[in-house]
A and B are shown apart, each in its own frame.
Chain A
Amino acid sequence: MGEDSRVSTLVVRAQNRFCALPVDRVVETFRPTLVEPVAGVPDLVLGVSVIRGETVPVVSLAALLGLPAAGVRARFVTVRTDGAVVALAVDEAVGVLRFDPDELSKVPALLKEATKHVHAIAVMDGKLLSFLECSHLLDKELVERLLAEGWT
């Protein structure tokens, strides 16, 4: 296996949990913008925000990982899902790291029940690193409803 087989990820932090996002899904990182809350949506959806002229749903990474609602949410990271671009609210964008697929482990059954979006785990400097599946962060209907009703 050469260097091409390594996976590039953007490592972010939510509270004390580190999470790796596939770089090919990441659009950019930036400071948090104004978030408008939306009624009748799951708790992990903080609302919608206008980013570079487009309405984007904002999702809490901590809530996505099943962590309690806390943290500074110092960065937004926009990722491309299969349906639309979604902004993840994280506490810190650590940087782009590359991982060998052999370093990855399968998600234990217990952790898998907690969140369905983690597809692999690894250890980074003695800390647990969760690899996030970004293709289906939100249901398609929910995304459409957010984009349709977000500004009404």
Chain B
Amino acid sequence: MAAVPEGDTHSMLESWTVGRRLAVGFAVVTLLTIVASFAGIVALRLVVADKDAVITVDWERRLAVEEMRVKREQRAKAVRSYLITKHDKFAKEIIKYRDEMISAETRLRDSSVSPDERKLIDVVIRANADMQAAWDALVAERKSGVPLESMIDVFEKNQDYVKALNDALSALATWEDKHLQANSQGASAASAKAQWALGILALLAASLAGTISWRLSRNLVQRVGRVIQDVQSSSAELQAAATQQSSSSQQLAATTSEVSTTMRELLATSRQIAESAQRVVQIAQETGAAARAGDSTGQRANQSIVAIREQVDVIVGHMLDLGRKSQQIGSMLDLINELAEQTNILSINATIEAAGAGEHGKRFAVVADEVRRLADRVAGSSREIRKLVEEIQEASNTTVMATEDGRKAVDAGGKQFTDVLSSFEKIGQRVGVTTEAAREIELSTKQQSTAVEQVNVAINNVAQAAKETESSTGQTLATAAQLATVSERLARLIRHREEL
């Protein structure tokens, strides 16, 4: 079994209830009583056994010795009777007593308790055997017809055997007496020891029972004292709580009155909200109609924008065509330039040739110079034309870009109109949702008014309950005061008990 720590044992005992502690204490005392009683029974049985041994065994052996003496006397008497009368009856008695004597000797010897006793018994047996042999010889002589008078001497001689047997029996009786006395004293001593042990055990049980009862009483007083303290503390808290509850009930009554007033104002406000919601529904319906009209206008404007976009596309196409034509003019100008340059070169070479020809080439030189000048003029004109064409191309590009910007603006406008149309549609949807929500608000507000009226009734009920709570709080205060008085009386009782 595992050892239980002292702290755990203490806490375990602390956790026991009072009833359990009382039950355990009484159980322990009862157990001690049972143990003491059992020990007393055992001691009594041991003492009785010792005494019984003294009475039944030792005294029986002592009586057996005396019985052997009696048998010896009865046998001697039967021998004498037979010697005198020669009746067979006495002969049989002789045999009977002899056998009983031998039987007693054998029984005593077999149950001897010590070697000394056995030696004494052996002496008795030998003396008895000698005695028996002498008696048998004497009886045989008498039976054979020897006269009684002639046997007196022999009979007297046999007295030695008688004496020897008597001495042996006396020695055995003396030993048995001593043994009896010794066992009797031993039994008395054991009885005295048992009495002492029982007394000590009873004293221990009484002291333990006293200790347990003292601990139980002390513990009970402590626990009851703590409970009383708790009761006193609880009654004080109960009084404070009841006082606070009384104050809270009064505040609750005042608050419920204010809440009731607020509820009436809320009811009036709810009715105003319902009227406002009706007006909102009307305005939302008008807004919906306006949104539908705006949507129709927007649809027409969108169609116009689509037409503008198509016209802008046509303009862009024309301008791009103009640009392509300008590029063709540029190509033709390149060709003209090429021709003018070639003509310039040819005219210069012709002038050179004319100069080399001297007087014959003068007229040709004049023509060649004119040709060169024409070529130069053509080149100058083509440069101007190129410049104009480049300006046209630049203007065309600018117009195309501006047209592109215009088309983008138209697209943006169209998209914005689409957004506007979408917005009108959303406005229509939102107006529908708003109308529905306003109707729901109107309905909810009516329901709210009904709920507010119900809440007003409930608030009045709460006020009534607060008044009842205030009344019951007074009763609680009285009960708490009584509880405090009872706990004080109980505490005085406990203190008195502790003083005792």
Binding site for B on A (CB under 8 A): 8, 10, 23-24, 26, 28-31, 75, 93, 95-96
How distant is the Cα of A141 from the Cα of B369 in the complex, in angstroms? 39
CB-based contact B345/A96 at 8 Å: no
In the complex, chain B residues whose CB is within 8 Å of the CB of A10: 348, 352
- If A95-B369, A95-B372, A96-B365 touch, whether A23 touches B348 (CB-CB below 8 Å) is no
Question: Nearest B residue to A98 by beta-carbon distance?
Answer: B355
How distant is the Cα of A28 from the Cα of B346 in the complex, in angstroms? 9
- If A95-B372, A96-B365 touch, whether A23 touches B356 (CB-CB below 8 Å) is yes
Other-chain residue from B345, B354, B365 in contact with A93 (beta carbon distance below 8 A): B345
In the complex, chain A residues whose CB is within 8 Å of the CB of B352: 10, 23, 26, 28-29, 96
Instruction: Quote the shortest CB–CB distance from B23 to chain A (angstroms).
Output: 132
Instruction: Quote the shortest CB–CB distance from B356 to chain A (angstroms).
Output: 6
- If A23-B356, A24-B356 touch, whether A95 touches B351 (CB-CB below 8 Å) is yes
How distant is the Cα of A23 from the Cα of B349 in the complex, in angstroms? 10
How distant is the Cα of A23 from the Cα of B345 in the complex, in angstroms? 15
In the complex, chain B residues whose CB is within 8 Å of the CB of A31: 341, 345
How distant is the Cα of A28 from the Cα of B354 in the complex, in angstroms? 12
Closest 7 CB pairs of A and B: A8-B355, A96-B351, A23-B355, A28-B349, A29-B348, A26-B352, A93-B348
CB-based contact A29/B345 at 8 Å: yes
Besides A26-B352, A31-B341, A96-B355, 11 other CB < 8 A contacts? A10-B348, A23-B352, A23-B355, A24-B356, A29-B348, A31-B345, A95-B372, A96-B348, A96-B352, A96-B354, A96-B369
Instruction: Quote the shortest CB–CB distance from A35 to chain B (angstroms).
Output: 18
How distant is the Cα of A24 from the Cα of B352 in the complex, in angstroms? 8
Task: Name the interface residues of B344-398: CB closer than 8 Å to any CB of A.
Answer: 344-345, 348-349, 351-352, 354-356, 365, 369, 372
Q: Give 17 CB contacts A-B under 8 Å.
A: A10-B348, A23-B352, A23-B355, A24-B355, A28-B349, A28-B352, A29-B345, A29-B352, A30-B345, A30-B349, A93-B345, A95-B348, A95-B369, A96-B348, A96-B351, A96-B355, A96-B365
Binding site for A on B (CB under 8 A): 341, 344-345, 348-349, 351-352, 354-356, 365, 369, 372
How distant is the Cα of A24 from the Cα of B344 in the complex, in angstroms? 20
How distant is the Cα of A29 from the Cα of B343 in the complex, in angstroms? 12
In the complex, chain B residues whose CB is within 8 Å of the CB of A30: 345, 349
How distant is the Cα of A67 from the Cα of B229 in the complex, in angstroms? 127
How distant is the Cα of A95 from the Cα of B369 in the complex, in angstroms? 8
Question: Nearest B residue to A30 by beta-carbon distance?
Answer: B345
How distant is the Cα of A75 from the Cα of B342 in the complex, in angstroms? 11
In the complex, chain B residues whose CB is within 8 Å of the CB of A29: 345, 348-349, 352
In the complex, chain A residues whose CB is within 8 Å of the CB of B341: 31
In the complex, chain B residues whose CB is within 8 Å of the CB of A75: 345
Instruction: Quote the shortest CB–CB distance from B351 to chain A (angstroms).
Output: 4
In the complex, chain B residues whose CB is within 8 Å of the CB of A26: 352
Question: Nearest B residue to A12 by beta-carbon distance?
Answer: B348
In the complex, chain A residues whose CB is within 8 Å of the CB of B369: 95-96
In the complex, chain A residues whose CB is within 8 Å of the CB of B345: 29-31, 75, 93
How distant is the Cα of A96 from the Cα of B345 in the complex, in angstroms? 12
How distant is the Cα of A95 from the Cα of B372 in the complex, in angstroms? 9
How distant is the Cα of A96 from the Cα of B369 in the complex, in angstroms? 8
How distant is the Cα of A147 from the Cα of B346 in the complex, in angstroms? 28
Instruction: Quote the shortest CB–CB distance from A94 to chain B (angstroms).
Output: 9
In the complex, chain A residues whose CB is within 8 Å of the CB of B351: 95-96
Question: Nearest A residue to B372 by beta-carbon distance?
Answer: A95
In the complex, chain A residues whose CB is within 8 Å of the CB of B365: 96
In the complex, chain B residues whose CB is within 8 Å of the CB of A28: 349, 352
In the complex, chain A residues whose CB is within 8 Å of the CB of B354: 96
Question: Nearest B residue to A31 by beta-carbon distance?
Answer: B345
Instruction: Quote the shortest CB–CB distance from A1 to chain B (angstroms).
Output: 16
Instruction: Quote the shortest CB–CB distance from B383 to chain A (angstroms).
Output: 15
In the complex, chain A residues whose CB is within 8 Å of the CB of B356: 23-24
In the complex, chain B residues whose CB is within 8 Å of the CB of A93: 344-345, 348
In the complex, chain A residues whose CB is within 8 Å of the CB of B348: 10, 29, 93, 95-96
In the complex, chain B residues whose CB is within 8 Å of the CB of A8: 355
